[in-house]
Amino acid sequence: MSETPSKNEQKPPVGDVSSSSRMQLMLCGGTACVSSGSVKVKAALERELAKHDLTDEVDVVVTGCNGFCAKGPVMVVQPDGIFYQELKEKDIPHLVEEHMLKGRPVEKLMYSPPDKKTAVPTMSEIGFFKKQRLVALRNRGLLDPESIDEYIARDGYKALAKVLSEMTPEEVIDEMIASGLRGRGGGGFPTGIKWKTCRMAAGEPKYVVCNADEGDPGAYMDRSIVEADPHVVLEGMAIAAYAVGSSKGYVYIRHEYPLALKRLQKAMEDAREYGLLGKNIFGKGFDFDISIHFGAGAFVCGESTALMASMEGHVGEPRAKYIHTVDHGLWDRPTNLNNVETYANVPVIILRGTKWFTSIGTGDVSKSPWGGSKGTKVFSLVGKVNNTGLVEVPMGITLREIIFDIGGGIPNGKKFKAVQTGGPSGGVLPESLLDIPVDFDQLTKVGSMMGSGGMIVMDEDDCMVDIARYYIDFLAGESCGKCVPCREGLRQINKMLTDISNGEAEEGVLELLEETAHTVAETSLCALGGSAPNPVLSTLRYFRDEYEAHVREKRCPAGLCKNLVTYSIDPVNCNGCTLCAIKCPQHAITGERKKVHTIDTSLCIKCGICRDVCKQDAVIVK
């Protein structure tokens, strides 16, 4: 389903635009790589380059997130595209001497697939990157996110110049409608239609707001875009402001994103200095500036009206949906709200045109903006998968391609069991649906959703009842409590799931659980409650036998629910290595060395440590 990126999508990195260096070390400086040591790696690189008098020949460029978070810190050596992973400070002296000084790439620091011993030297050859197609992330790993010059050198702000010089606001809106771009924040509403409605709405001033406050567990798509390419968000917002008739914008971003905040603030300062934000932009009489509003990490503030209530200084509670924010939004004025990824798509659509954009993805938007899923989607691929990280793929790619071709399959020889798409409110899909195309409509048909782009992979050791309970517990805690169905319904669902997990549920609970879930979905005030039952309804739909085992047999097939399992040691597989006895925190395991061990079930707290450390698969959970 995926397409090979065109030459225009594979432009070489710019690095220092004033540099004449022969080599550039594109070192990932995204949050994941920073947390695993890329700052120390950068310092070591600079020391070693200076030691060998290579400072004028080799540039170290700190980029944003490169996507392959599981292998950080990562670095790409350009212009040859040599990819290094899991770099440590101690690796740098040898790496600089061999590769930068002598021209001999260091194989032991390259990526090797889990099932192969041969190193893969270049980034383009690695399976994780092969089926990706970068649109929103087109500058990922190719520039210094704190350099406006590098963004401009990669056609940055060219789209804004085009719309201000050559297009009317109505023509910009028509272009967005024709592109079929749908909101990437979860709702999938046609972007051009939203812009048109906002422009036509009565009332001044009008506002443009960017939602960068993603609250899904395991999701970091928007954060990574801001960290890697903050100017693309500013440019997209400025184009939207011109289209809807706004002179003021806001980025609503959580305070827990310090690196993204730092780079966004730097980008805004530089854009003002260059006259790309502020008064009379490009001398065309267009005024637009942006401020930052800090969110406090409330999941419910992903809902548009709750977000705007928060910005106004009120409790983040949603309001009835018959009042649209494009008519009465922030401070009761017409407001256009899109998320980071949506705005990041806008400049490239303006520059390359709707024909190019609609050639990617599924469906037909020529008759209706709702007629398909065009372009690409950014996902955070996490969980029980070999290659975790940030991926951007064309709409219509299958779940199997994402999880097994890009993600590299399930680690430790385990069997794939399920994948949840769409964050905590998304559905859990089984192996039988691995070949469905990933787009807005297909995911909805099978009981899940696109959401903002979280994708969590699960293996045979995961219990579907426990998974549903985990997400409902999260959502119940994040409910604002304004409406009864969400506030009380999620509590009751959580109680039923807890009873099932503990083996305390009675016959008939599954029917009541399903009925309650449907009621919450159909009667809640906002999308949090409306979509919250998805994990329950989808797991009941595809894994009902697992629920029935918990209720009728008081058994957890995955061996995860503590009240329903017993730990013992298989005398055939146990070789008496004593490792389990040493690691057991309760001293519940006894036995002599090289003889079969036993577990005292009266002391066992079912923590699972013995199973985790046993190399003989001798620990049995029933």
The strand pair at 598-599 and 589-590 is best described as antiparallel
Residues 495 and 596 grouped into a single domain: no
420: in domain: yes
Residue 166: predicted pLDDT: 97
Whether residue 529 contacts residue 546, with contact meaning beta carbons closer than 8 Å, is answered with no
Residue 617: which CATH number? 3.30.70.20
136: in domain: no
Residue 162: predicted pLDDT: 98
Torsion of CA 122, 126, 128, 130, to 10 degrees: 90
Q: Around Cβ 570, how many Cβ atoms within 10 Å?
A: 13
Residue 512: which CATH number? 1.20.1440.230
30: in domain: yes
Residues 405 and 448 grouped into a single domain: yes
Residue 24: which CATH number? 3.40.30.10
Whether cis (ω within 30° of 0) applies to the bond prior to 205 is yes
The three-state secondary structure class of 372 is strand
The residue among 427, 459, 491 that closes a domain is: 459
Residue 391: which CATH number? 3.10.20.600
Residue 487: predicted pLDDT: 95
Residues 453 and 473 grouped into a single domain: no
Residues 517 and 433 grouped into a single domain: no
Q: What does residue 598 show for φ and ψ, rounded to 5 degrees?
A: -135, 155
Residues 197 and 171 grouped into a single domain: yes
218: in domain: yes
Cα end-to-end span (Å), the chain: 42
- Tally of structural domains, the chain: 5
Residues 259 and 324 grouped into a single domain: yes
Residues 410 and 469 grouped into a single domain: no
Beta strands per DSSP E along 18-128: 23-28, 58-63, 75-78, 82-84
The residue among 444, 459, 474 that closes a domain is: 459
Range of the domain at 42: 7-127
Beta strands per DSSP E along 226-341: 248-254, 278-281, 286-295, 335-339
The three-state secondary structure class of 252 is strand
Residue 299: predicted pLDDT: 87
162: in domain: yes
Whether residue 107 contacts residue 119, with contact meaning beta carbons closer than 8 Å, is answered with yes
The three-state secondary structure class of 351 is helix
CA pair distance 315, 301, nearest whole angstrom: 10
CA pair distance 221, 400, nearest whole angstrom: 20
Whether residue 560 contacts residue 461, with contact meaning beta carbons closer than 8 Å, is answered with yes
> How crowded is the C-beta side of 347, counted as CA atoms within 13 Å?
28
Residues 242 and 318 grouped into a single domain: yes
pTM higher than 0.75 for the full model?
A: yes
Residues 233 and 380 grouped into a single domain: no
Residues 171 and 48 grouped into a single domain: no
Contact residues for 445 (Cβ-Cβ < 8 A; gap 6+): none
The residue among 459, 484, 510 that closes a domain is: 459
DSSP state of 101: I
Residues 221 and 331 grouped into a single domain: yes
Torsion of CA 218, 484, 450, 462, to 10 degrees: 50
Residues 536 and 470 grouped into a single domain: yes
389: in domain: yes
Mean pLDDT by 10 residues, the chain (622 residues): 38 48 94 94 97 95 93 94 96 96 95 84 91 95 96 97 98 97 90 97 97 82 94 98 98 91 97 97 97 89 92 92 91 97 98 96 87 93 94 96 95 94 92 96 92 91 96 94 94 97 94 97 92 96 97 92 92 94 94 93 92 91 86
Determine the residue type at 8: N
CA pair distance 513, 495, nearest whole angstrom: 10
81: in domain: yes
Whether residue 83 contacts residue 128, with contact meaning beta carbons closer than 8 Å, is answered with no
Structure tokens at 616: 């003989």
CA pair distance 510, 500, nearest whole angstrom: 9
The three-state secondary structure class of 512 is helix
Whether cis (ω within 30° of 0) applies to the bond prior to 79 is yes
Structure tokens at 292: 């930052």
Query: Which of 415, 408, 404 has its CA nearest to residue 386?
Result: 408
CA pair distance 303, 451, nearest whole angstrom: 12
353: in domain: yes
